[in-house]
Amino acid sequence: MFDPELAEMRFGCGLSPVVAPPASVPDMLARLTGPDEIALRFPVEDLTQFRERMKRSAEYLKTRRTMRGTPEAKIARKAQQVEKKNARIAQARWTAQRLLRRAWTSDGLRERLTWFWADHFTAVGKQGTIKRAATPHVEEAIRPHVTGRFADLLRAAITSPVMLHYLDQQRSMGPNSKRAQKKQGGAGLNENLAREVLELHTLGVDGPYSQADVRELAELFTGLYFDARAGFKFRKDFAEPGAERVLGQLYGSDKPNVADIFAVLDDLAVHPSTAAHVAEKLAVHFVADRPDPDLVAHLTVRFLDTDGDLLAVTEALLRHPAAWAPDLHNVKQPWEFMTSAARALAVPPGRFDGLKENELRPLLHRPLVVMGQRWESPAGPDGWPEDDSAWITPQGLAARMGWAMTMPARLQRDLPDPRDFVHHALGARAPEPVMFAAHAAENRREGVGLILSSPAFQRK
């Protein structure tokens, strides 16, 4: 059953020599539903703040277009470049903040749930300033909703400007919309978001939908839009007139209305297939690649009984015996590996203060690339792989071991004695061969490196 160290390893950010693990499941839930202290301590921008950057970029672009060939256009071009660069620098700082959140939080489950749901609703910027908006998107559209209703999370994620941009909803226009009729050519429907909402975000790829549902949902979605100034907005002139039939249900009318889109999202959010899909994903992410079917069924029922109350579903996960099986069956993703190492090392909260971008990136971003997880760049909208074998490849493991042997000394000036560190990092669960390595390593650096390289540390 419940075990404080296991709670930190499986549902938190790993063991810390400083921050005490939770005492019980109610303690975990109390922390999770309390104020988000760590976010205040290590702040990052939210999307509302980030939009100021996008607004300025949009202004510069406008100047460049309307005043082509003038000195003003030249200045605007330069300013646009500076804006892009500043966003890139800010992104590097937020990565450091997010590492420190994981290293110092006493509410590790909140970080884990945020990561899980951000991955479920993968959205990143593709080019220009918005390319750096992934963290602000998570901060605003995901993080506040991880203990709320799934329907609210779904709505926040889908209407986030970063999502609308990432899955090309911005470009989608009803073939019979006012705008398309005026524009003639170049305008059309884009099914990308509609497809992913059904396939990835709600029902799942095996769910009861057809290509016709994708098409109708795409028509219903037309009008979802954002601009830098206002953020999300609904453009009636983009919207396809008429009702659309999704999963047999009619939505909308000749008068385009965003409420019809919210209605279909609300229905999808409590669909039995959505419950099963979400339950399976949670169990896979937190417990094992091939989870106990009873756990999945338990979570599914809880999801349906509570109309997708994510706090209730999370509690159901923590209360199920399979959640506390003593053997560790999952592997940390590179970001989890790196940040849990920082936590075990108690990397000082001021470690990244005043560092320039070209000092931050080799510390934080570059190692993730080598480990196979380029920061905020998953290959597709399906997010990062869960399969352990996708990460523990020869190259991936070599990169992790290389990191473990060299980087701890750069993150924490006073490397701990490996004989102590093995307990900081692994607690009472330290296996004999790792204890042996901690004592037999030929120096402190390799001793720490070996402990962090051990399967016992890399699993969760």
Q: Does 389 bind another protein (CB under 8 A)?
A: yes
Q: Does 185 bind another protein (CB under 8 A)?
A: no
Q: Are strands 231-234 and 249-251 parallel, antiparallel or unpaired?
A: unpaired
Q: Does 450 bind another protein (CB under 8 A)?
A: yes
Query: What minimum distance in Å lies between the beta carbon of 399 and another protein?
Result: 5
Near another protein in 94-133, by CB under 8 A? 126-127
Give CB contacts under 8 A, 24+ apart, made by 383-388.
383/119, 383/120, 383/122, 384/119, 384/333, 386/281, 386/284, 386/285, 386/289, 386/330, 387/289, 388/289, 388/330, 388/331
Q: Which stretch binds another protein (CB under 8 A): 82-90, 151-159, 258-266, 431-439?
A: 431-439
Q: Distance between CA 356 and CA 354 in Å, rounded?
A: 6
Q: Does 172 bind another protein (CB under 8 A)?
A: no
Q: Does 256 bind another protein (CB under 8 A)?
A: no
Residue located via tokens 């949670």:
282
102 close to 13: Cβ distance less than 8 angstroms: yes
Query: What minimum distance in Å lies between the beta carbon of 14 and another protein?
Result: 18
Phi-psi region of 161 (alpha: psi -120 to 50; beta: other; left: phi over 0): alpha
- By rule CB under 8 A, what count of residues binds another protein? 45
Q: Which stretch binds another protein (CB under 8 A): 52-60, 152-160, 296-304, 391-399?
A: 391-399
Q: Does 454 bind another protein (CB under 8 A)?
A: yes
Q: Of the candidates 66, 249, 253, 395, which one interacts with another protein according to CB under 8 A?
A: 395
Q: Does 374 bind another protein (CB under 8 A)?
A: yes
Q: Distance between CA 341 and CA 14 in Å, rounded?
A: 8
Q: Of the candidates 51, 195, 277, 298, which one interacts with another protein according to CB under 8 A?
A: 195
The DSSP-derived string for 137-190 is HIIIIIGGGTTSBHHHHHHHHHTSHHHHHHTTGGGB--TTSHHHHHH-SS-B--
x/- contact string, 55-94, with another protein (CB under 8 A)? Answer: ----------------------------------------
Q: Does 430 bind another protein (CB under 8 A)?
A: no
427 close to 15: Cβ distance less than 8 angstroms: yes
Helix (H) or strand (E) holding 286: helix 272-286
Binding interface with another protein (CB under 8 A): 126-127, 168, 186, 191-192, 195, 331, 369-370, 372, 374, 379-382, 388-389, 392-399, 401-402, 405, 431, 433-434, 436-437, 440-442, 446, 449-450, 453-456, 458
